Amino acid sequence: MNTIVQKFGGSSLSSIDKMKTIADRVIRNRKNGFKMVVIVSAMGKTTNNLIELSNQACNAPSKRELDMLLATGEQVSASLLTMILKEKGYDSIALTGQQAGVKTTGIYCNTKIADIDVSTVKEYLNKDKIVIIAGFQGVNERGEVTTLGRGGSDTTAVAFAAKLGCKCEIYTDVEGIYSVDPRLYSKAQKLDVISYEEMKEMSQLGAKVMECRSVEIGHRYKVPIYVASSLSDASGTLIKEWDKQVEERSVTGLSVTDDVLMVTLKNIPHSSSNVAEVFTLLAEAGVSVDIISQTLPREGFVNLSFTASAKDYESVKEAMEVIAQKHSSVELEKDDEIIKLSVVGTGMRTQSGVAAKLFRVFADNQIEFQQVTTSEISISYTLDKAFKQKAVDVAATAFNL
C-alpha cells in the first residue's frame, strides 16, 4: 500500500466546516487504498492572532516563548481534524511535531529540520491509522519547542515525504503554480509541471506559493511535490525533476517582487577594499543584498548601487554611516519606488536570446529598467514602479506565459 503525505494550509482549515471538507478529501484517498500522513497548519489567521497577542504583551517577545506560543496553533488544528476523522469512522491519531519525531536544530523561530525519526509514524501507519501531524514545529535536542518559520508546514510535509519515500501533495488556496501571478496578469497560465530548479528560482524571486526551502528539500530527496487547490478538484502543478516534459519552454514563469529598495552610494574612492567594506558592513547588519551594480571608475570615484528589501532601510543607513564618515565624498541616495521583475526558465540554459528578446520588448514599449542581473536560469530587472503592469503584460505576452 502506497503512502501519501498531504499538507493543508491555514485557509483550508479556517473553520470546522472547512475542516470537515478536508476530512472528506483525506478519506477519499484512504478509500483509494493509500496510507495517509496529513500535515496541518494553524487554523485561518491563528498564527497572526498569536503574534499580535505577543506584541501586546511586550515590544520584543522572547523567541523561545514565541515558538512555544505559536506551536499551539498547529496542535489545535491537528487535534480537531483527528476528532472529525474519528467520528467519521476512520481511525486516526494526532501528533505534535515532537511526537511525530521532528528534531530541529537549536535556533528559535526559524529553525531547520535536523532529522525526523519516522518510526512512530510508521508504526501508526502499519496499524492502519491516518496520521495527522502538527506542521511548522519540532523540538531541538534540549526538548525545546522550535518553529520552522515561513512556509514551515510545507517544509514539514516535504521532509516527511522524503523520509517515507513517497509523494507529497500541498493543498493551498490557489490552483497550482502559474507562469505569472494571476492577480498581476489575468491571462496567466497554470503550469502542469515545473522543475525543482525553476520553482526554487521563482520562489526566491517572489512567487509566494511555495517557499524555496521546501522545494530545495524536495529537490535533494527527489520528492514529487504536487501543488493544488484544497477547495476544488481542478488539476494542479507537479514539481519534479527537469526532463523532456519541462524542457520545451525557454521561459516558464515570471515573478515580481514589490517593496524593493535601491540604494546608491555615490563617489566612493575607487578601490576594491572600499567596496568589500560596504558589503561586509551590510552583512554584519543582517541586510540581505540582491542585485549589485557599479559604474566604471571616473576621476578616481565609482558609484555603487544595490537592492535590498525596503524594510531594511534603517539598517542600511546605519551601516553606511561608517563609510560616509571615512570618505567625505560619499553620498547616499535611496529609491524605494522600485520593483523587481524576473523571468525564469530552465530552457535558458540551452536557448539563448531570452535576454535579447526582453531588451527588445522593453525598448519597443518605452520601459526603462535600472539594473539587470542574470543567473543560470533567470533574468531579473529593477524597474520603476510606474512600469510594473506594462512590463508584466508585455513580457508575459512575449513568452506566451
**Annotated binding residues for substrate:** 47, 74
Q: Which residues fall within 8 angstroms of residue 374, CB to CB, at 6 or more apart? A: 355, 380
Smallest Cα–Cα separation from 153: which of 42, 41, 45?
Answer: 41
Smallest distance from the beta carbon of 84 to a copy of itself, in angstroms? 5
- Sequential DSSP letters for 151-200: THHHHHHHHHHHHHT-EEEEEESSSS-BSS-TTT-TTPPBPSEEEHHHHH
Beta carbon nearer to a copy of itself, 66 or 260: 66
Smallest Cα–Cα separation from 157: which of 99, 227, 109?
Answer: 227
3-class DSSP state for residue 375? strand
Smallest distance from the beta carbon of 83 to a copy of itself, in angstroms? 5
C-alpha cell at 260: 524593493
- Sequential DSSP letters for 302-323: EEEEEEEEGGGHHHHHHHHHHH
Smallest Cα–Cα separation from 213: which of 256, 155, 259?
Answer: 155
Contact positions toward a copy of itself, by CB under 8 A?
16, 19-20, 50, 53-54, 56-62, 64-66, 68-69, 71-72, 75-76, 78-80, 82-84, 86-87, 93-94, 96, 98-99, 143-145
Task: Return the H-helix or E-strand segment holding 75.
Answer: helix 63-87
C-alpha cell at 104: 530541529
Beta carbon nearer to a copy of itself, 78 or 168: 78
C-alpha cell at 167: 509523494
DSSP secondary structure letter of residue 12: G
Residues that constitute the known binding site: 7-10, 47, 74, 172-173, 178, 183, 208-209
Give the position of cell 553620498.
Answer: 331
Answer yes or no: are the C-beta atoms of 12 and 18 closer than 8 Å. yes
Smallest distance from the beta carbon of 37 to a copy of itself, in angstroms? 17
Smallest distance from the beta carbon of 74 to a copy of itself, in angstroms? 10
Give the position of cell 516558464.
Answer: 252
CA distances to 186, 189, 265 from 395, in Å = 13, 14, 31
Smallest distance from the beta carbon of 114 to a copy of itself, in angstroms? 19
Smallest distance from the beta carbon of 112 to a copy of itself, in angstroms? 21
Beta carbon nearer to a copy of itself, 87 or 318: 87
Q: How far apart are the two ends of the chain, measured CA to CA in Å?
A: 39
What is the chain's alpha carbon radius of gyration, rounded to the nearest angstrom? 23
Beta carbon nearer to a copy of itself, 91 or 258: 91
Residues that constitute the known binding site for ATP: 7-10, 172-173, 178, 183, 208-209
Smallest distance from the beta carbon of 17 to a copy of itself, in angstroms? 9
Beta carbon nearer to a copy of itself, 19 or 202: 19
Beta carbon nearer to a copy of itself, 87 or 259: 87
Q: Give the separation between CA 86 and CA 188, rounded to whole angstroms.
A: 41
Smallest distance from the beta carbon of 105 to a copy of itself, in angstroms? 18
Interhelix angle 196-204/212-221, nearest 10 degrees:
160
Beta carbon nearer to a copy of itself, 62 or 280: 62
